[in-house]
Chains A and B, each alone.
Chain A
C-alpha cells in the first residue's frame, strides 16, 4: 500500500494501481470513457485529467501510477474546466438522440455531462453525418455517429480475444470503427462489445428499443452453461405495473464487478438462458394429459418400489445431488447414471467442452455418465433434474423400454410428452439457490433470481416426498 492524497485527504491505496483505479476504490469521482478495468490503460478520451502536484500539465488518471506521497487534485478550477471542455468537444459531434438510444440511463456521456458538464451550448453548426445501424456481427449494430472512439471494442478484440478484428478507418474526426472489408464479426464473444461500449454506439440488435435501463435491476448469479460458471447479471424488470410487457428475463450480462471471474462472458451464456426461459413447463402431465399434484404423488408413490434406474441431470445443484444420491443410491440402491448436455467445442478463453455446471461434482461422486446405447434395459426409470428441450435421443433405450418412465424437468420436452408416463415441472436454475463445482473443483453459489413459475415444484420437495415414502415399509 502507498499513502496518497485526493484533494488533501489522505488515503492508503494499493501499490501499482492507477490514480483512476485508486480513486474509484476510495470513492473519489473522476469521469472517464476509454478506461475499462479489464483492458490496458489507453489514455485516449482525456476525460480523466487531474492535477498532480509537481506536474506542469494535467495528467490522465488512467495512465498514471500512484506513487508514495502523490498529491492528486480532482476538483480544481483547471480540472473542472478541462472536463467541461472535453465534454463539450464530445457533444459537438455526438447526436442528442438520447430519448431513443438504448444506452440511455446507462450512458457515460449522459452521466458525466449531468455531473460535470457545460451549461451553455456554444456551437451551432451541423454535425457530421456518419453511418448508423451498421451490421457489425450476428447480433450487433454499430452507430458510427454515437461512437466516441474510446476504442474499448477494438482493444477488447486485441487484448482479450487476441485478434485484431476491429480497426479504425480514416483519420481525425472522420475516424470510424470497422472490420476489414466490413465483414461481420463472428466471435463467440460479440455480446461483450455491446456491453463494454460506454455509449450507445454498439448495440445488441434484438435488444433495440426493448428496455429502458432505469426500469430494470441486475441480479447476480453464475452461468450454468459450461463448467466454468462465469459471473452473470440477470436483468429483470423493476416492479412497475406498466412493465407488464417486459419479459421477466430482460437480458443477461457479464458481471465485471467481482475480482475472480473474468468479467466477460461468451454469447452462449449471454443468450441461451433467455431461450430456455421461453420453453418452461408448468403443468403436470400423465401420458400427455394434465393431472394435479395429488394424482402425481399417487403415481410416484405407487411406482417407487419398482424403480430400477435413476438418471441425474448435471444441472442439479450440489445439494440436490447429495440428497438424490443418499436416497436413490445409498438407501434404495438403484442404478444411477448422470446425464448432461453433450460436450461442445471448448476454446482457450472461457468456453469449456463440458456444457454443464455440475458435471465435475457428479464425476467426483462417481456417478457414471449415461452413454448412448449403453442402457438397453433400464426398466422403470426416473429422469431427475434439468433436461433440456433439445436433449438428444440418448434415451433411446429408455424411450423404447416398456417400463415406467418419469421425467422431472423445468422444460417442455421436445419428445412427445406421451412417451413419458409422468412429466413433472420443477423450478429452473434461475429460480433456486444452490452450489456448483466448476472445472477447477472450485465451488460457486447460484442465487435465486426469480420466483418459481406458477405450477412448478422444487426438486427438493419431490425428493422429500420420495424420501418420506421410501421410509415406509
Chain B
C-alpha cells in the first residue's frame, strides 16, 4: 500500500481531467462512501487523526461533530481555497493538478454530514485554478458525481465556485462567509460559530482544500491507516511548500513528524553555497520564526506549538546568513499592514504603527526605543482582536524582533556609531 496520498495523483498524466483521475482510482472512494452510513464515515475521519490543513490544526473529526443534526433545511460546505498565507502554494497544486480529489472529498463530506450545497471559495489571484476547478465541476456533474441522486443514490449535492476579491483576511472563515454572501470581508464576532450559524445564518462547515482532499483516502483505506502515516495525534502526510534558501524548493509530501532539518537538507538539497542557516518560518508567515538552533524539530502540530511556533499552512521558508532580519521583518510588517481588514482597533492601528516604527528603525532617525516600541506594540495587539489575524501579526513580528534582537540593535547602534 502506498504511503503517499497526493504524490501519485499530483504527478499523474492528465490527472487534472476526470478521465485521468478515474484512471488513478478516482471516485472509487465516493462509491464506497455511498455504501457506508454517514456516521461510519465520521467515525473513520475521527480515527484518522486528521487535523485542519489550513493553519489552525484543529482535529477535523471533532470540527465535524460541531454541526447540529440535519433539519431538512439548507446546510453548507465551504472549501477554503483562499490560499493566501505567504509562502504557501500547496492548495494551488491540488486545484490545478487534481481538482477532482477536492470535489470527491467535498461530496463524501457532504454525504457524511448531510450538507446540501457546496462552495469553493477560491483565492482571486488563482486564475488557472479557476479554470481547472470549473472544468472539473462540469465534468463531475456530467458523470453523475454531482447533482441530483449522485450515482443513483438518494443523495444530491452541488458545488459552485466563487472567486475572492484579493483579500488575505478572507482566508479567515467568517470573513470568507461574509465575502461569499457578497459583503465586505470582515470577520464576524464569535460566537455564534459557523457550525451553528454560518453562511446565510445556516449551519456551515468550512474546511481547507488539503483537508478535504484527504477524505477520499481516509474513506478508502480507513482512518487508522491514515493515522499510521503520521505521528501521534497528527494523522497522515502533509504537503510542505518549501521555499527560500534551499537548492530544491518545491512541494514535498512527507509524513507529519518528519524532522525540519530532513526537509531542508535531505529533500530540499540544503542551502546554496553551504551558507549557514539563519532561521526558518515553519508554517506560513504567521508562524513565529525558528532560529537555526531551533530547527532540529519534528514537523507536527504539537512539537511546533511547544516550540512557540506552529505548523500552520505547512509553508516552510528558509533564510540563510545573508538574509537581513530587518528586511524579513519589514516585509512581514508591510504585509500585515496591507492586509489588515481595519475592522478592529488593535489590528488596524497596531499594524500601521508597526509599519511606521519599522520605517523609522530603517531610517537614520532609528533608535533603540523604536525597537522597544515595536516589540511592545506587537504584544499589544495580541489577544485583543476579533479574529486570529491580530495574534498572527503579533506573534510573527515579536518572534523576529526578539530572537534577532542583537542583529537589530547592532544595526541601530551602527547607524549612529
Contacts and interface: CB of A to CB of B under 8 A. Distances in A.
Contacts of A46: 344-346, 384-386
Interface string A152-192: 00000000000000011011111100000000000000000
Contacts of A93: 349, 352
A171 B342 contact: yes
B154 interface: no
A72 interface: no
Which bucket holds chain B's interface residue count? 20 to 34
A204 to B, nearest CB: 26
A175 B346 contact: no
Contact of B337 (A168, A170, A172): A172
Contact of B348 (A43, A88, A149): A149
A123 B351 contact: no
Contacts of B343: 44, 149
A43 B184 contact: no
Interface stretch (B41-49, B70-78, B307-315, B356-364): B356-364
A85 B345 CA distance: 10
A214 interface: no
B206 interface: no
| B342, B380, B383, most chain A CB atoms within 10 A | B342
B384 A82 contact: yes
A175 B344 contact: no
A45 B344 contact: yes
A128 interface: yes
Contacts of A82: 384
Contacts of B376: 122
Contacts of A92: 349, 352-353, 356
Given A46-B386, A128-B352, A173-B337, 15 more contacts: A85-B346, A88-B380, A89-B353, A92-B353, A122-B369, A122-B373, A148-B345, A149-B348, A171-B339, A171-B341, A172-B337, A172-B340, A173-B348, A173-B349, A173-B352
A41 B359 CA distance: 36
A86 B348 contact: no
29 contacts: A44-B344, A44-B345, A46-B385, A47-B345, A57-B384, A58-B384, A82-B384, A85-B346, A85-B377, A86-B380, A88-B380, A89-B350, A89-B377, A92-B353, A122-B369, A122-B373, A123-B353, A123-B357, A128-B352, A167-B184, A171-B339, A171-B340, A172-B339, A172-B342, A172-B351, A173-B348, A173-B351, A174-B342, A175-B342
A86 B379 CA distance: 12
Interface residues of A, number: 34
Nearest to B349: A89
Nearest to A92: B353
Nearest to A176: B342
A49 B184 contact: no
Contacts of A49: 384
Contact of B356 (A42, A88, A125, A148): A125
Contacts of B162: none
A171 B351 CA distance: 12
| B340, B349, B356, most chain A CB atoms within 10 A | B349
A85 B349 contact: no
A410 to B, nearest CB: 49
Contacts of B1: none
A210 interface: no
Contacts of B346: 46, 85-86, 89
Given A90-B349, A149-B348, A125 B341 contact: no
A89 B380 contact: yes
A221 interface: no
Contacts of B345: 44-47, 86, 89-90, 148-149
Nearest to A89: B349
A125 B380 contact: no
Interface of B: 167, 184, 189, 337-346, 348-353, 356-357, 359-360, 369, 373, 376-377, 380, 383-386
A228 B386 CA distance: 40
A47 B385 CA distance: 11
A63 B386 CA distance: 11
Interface in A123-164: 123-125, 128, 148-149
A92 B385 CA distance: 18
A399 B270 CA distance: 103
A45 B376 CA distance: 19
Interface string A15-54: 0000000000000000000000000011111110100000
A73 B14 CA distance: 62
A43 B344 contact: yes
Given A171-B342, A172-B337, A172-B340, A43 B189 contact: yes
A42 B186 CA distance: 12
Contacts of A57: 383-384
Nearest to B373: A122
Given A57-B383, A63-B189, A125 B344 contact: no
Nearest to A167: B184
Contacts of B359: 125
B348 A123 contact: no
A128 B352 CA distance: 9
Contacts of B341: 171-172
Contacts of A89: 345-346, 349-350, 353, 377, 380
A47 to B, nearest CB: 7
Contacts of B380: 85-86, 88-89
B184 A172 contact: no
A377 to B, nearest CB: 65
A172 B186 CA distance: 11
B189 A173 contact: no
A421 B380 CA distance: 76
